[in-house]
Structure 1
Amino acid sequence: MKQNKVAVYRKEHFNAAHRLHNHAWSDEKNATVFGSCNNKNFHGHNYELIVKVTGEPNPDTGYVLDLKVLSALIKKEILDQFDHKNLNLDTVYFQQVNPTAENIAKVIYQLLRDKLDEQLELKIFLYETERNYVEYPA
């Protein structure tokens, strides 16, 4: 069977603060498990986000997905909600969910997945630092 799929990528950037904290645990256990990431005054990251969309190019346009459309979608669904925000306090997504890079990537995936054609495959790469990043789905 002939494979005609192509992957397109969009790279974005946002800054956000968060605190890793499990409300079911004692302060001591949180400090032990999360270390400085449990700072009660929060801490921030300069996140790099890469969104990968895979599908068959449209025969009329040649696009898998118009990257202007993807850019606008990421801005509306992710950047406008997360950039220069405290993820714990300023978003509904992390009031009950610990805002680890893993969980942030899962939330980003769901926010975008709901807006994309079901025929398109989606993958999120989220860099919390230059050396630490997550991929979802793996």
Structure 2
Amino acid sequence: MIYITRKEHFNAAHKLYREDWSKEKNEEVFGRCANANWHGHNYDLFVTIKGEINPETGFVIDLKELKDIIINEVVDKLDHKNLNLDVDFMKGKMASTEVLAIEIWKQLASHISDRGAALHCIKLYETANNFVEYFGD
């Protein structure tokens, strides 16, 4: 088993806010992230896959194919978008980095397994200091 990681980047806006809470409670729990005028991040996404090396190609997966999957299924849907309003797979969900990482996994897993590899990890940096890792269910 070998692991390989592809890095991509996107920019997106969001806010952390629960409609069923008061403005005061949202601000208490989410702080500046509950700003009514939104805020944004420059996200770095690391997609790690695992599998056996194909003896004919020397690849687990062709990295050009992996790049295309990530761009088409995730980056194009997220880049320069509002996570709360513009992204179909985030509708009705809290736009936290944790939830976003899980939803990105869901967008990618079957496309990667269709190519004979397995999704191992999503690592999503919201800032240089804050990131999440998700390894599936």
| Range of TM-score over shorter length | over 0.9
**1:15 deviation in Å?**
0.2
- Deviations 1:27-51, CA, capped at 9 Å, x for gaps: 1111100000000110000000000
* Residue correspondences, number: 134
Residue of structure 2 equivalent to 1:116: 112
Q: Within 2, Cα distance between the matches of 1:61 and 1:52?
A: 19
Match of 2:41 among 40, 45, 55: 45
Partner deviation per Cα, 1:68-93 (whole Å, 9 max, x = no partner): 00000011011110000011111122
Corresponding residue number in structure 2 for 1:135: 133
Any idea what SS the aligned residue of 2:133 has?
A: strand
Q: What is the CA–CA distance in structure 1 between the aligned matches of 2:51 and 2:39, rounded to whole Å?
A: 37
The aligned residue for residue 124 of structure 2 is 126
In structure 1, how many angstroms separate the alpha carbons of the residues matched to 2:12 and 2:3?
28
Superposition TM-score, scaled by structure 1 size: 0.92
Instruction: Report the TM-score, using the length of structure 2 for normalisation.
Output: 0.93
List runs of 5+ in structure 2 lacking aligned partners.
none
Amino acid across the alignment from 2:56: D
2:23 aligns with: 27
Any conservation in 2 of the 1:49–1:127 contact (CA below 8 Å)? yes
1:23, CA displacement in angstroms?
1.9
* CA distance in structure 2 between the aligned counterparts of 1:42 and 1:66, rounded to whole angstroms: 38
Please tell me whether the aligned partners of residues 109 and 122 of structure 1 are also in contact (alpha carbons under 8 angstroms). no
Given the alignment of the two structures, is residue 91 of structure 1 paired with residue 53 of structure 2, yes or no?
A: no
